[in-house]
Copies of this chain bind each other. A is one copy, B any other.
């Protein structure tokens, strides 16, 4: 039995979203963050060596890292039609775009957001080389996203792929940590409305973040 270990307000919401998109039978275990420091509780940290979300268990397997889990679940629990749809292959015109945004989500965008948050916590002075580097990267990243969603309805192209699911957290729930506004980005706001209309996304958020209003604007 596939078990998704979801830490509240964390990247593991992606995994719940994929499971709902695929219509899987799975067990969901929800872990609350500590009230004193907002970090993961010890029982969540004990699940994997890095002690971070997301984590799944599937039989004897314990697996972390969003990109790996999304690919693993699609490959081992998805149907052939679902695999072709959520991860367009070399025969699809969307192949390269899907791969780019799927990897860019964590390899660049989340890393940039994390860097920016941590430099704020470290009180890096404005104009410092690191702060300027981070600010420039962040601005470029948001501009790229806005441009992409002006040329296609979804990151991967014409329909929802693992790239959208991997990008979703930083554009929704993850914004709570930085109070980031999407007001300047009409294409991003249109994409948020698009995913907010999906039954699978709504079902995932109702289960993973009960009581929370998804950040779709």
Contact = CB atoms under 8 A, between A and B. Distances in A.
Interface in A63-110: 63-68, 71-72, 75-76, 89-90, 95-96, 99-100, 102-104, 106-108, 110
A103 B140 CA distance: 23
Contacts of A66: 103, 107
- Tell me which of A66, A96, A119, A125 has the highest count of chain B C-beta atoms within 10 A of its own C-beta: A96
Which of A119, A137, A143, A144 neighbours the largest number of chain B CB atoms within 10 Å of its CB? Answer: A119
A112 to B, nearest CB: 9
Nearest to A129: B121
A111 interface: yes
Interface in A118-140: 118-119, 121-125, 128-131, 133-134, 137, 140
Contacts of A119: 118-119, 122, 130
A49 B71 CA distance: 26
Contacts of A137: 50
A174 interface: no
A114 interface: yes
A123 B75 CA distance: 44
A49 B131 CA distance: 20
B103 A75 contact: no
B100 A64 contact: yes
A61 B99 CA distance: 13
Contact of A95 (B72, B106, B121): B72
Contacts of A67: 67, 99, 102-103, 107
Contact of A96 (B63, B104, B110, B129): B63
Contacts of A64: 100, 104
A89 B75 contact: yes
Interface of A: 49-52, 61, 63-68, 71-72, 75-76, 89-90, 95-96, 99-100, 102-104, 106-108, 110-111, 114-115, 118-119, 121-125, 128-131, 133-134, 137, 140-141, 143-144, 147
6 contacts: A63-B100, A64-B104, A66-B107, A67-B103, A110-B111, A114-B115
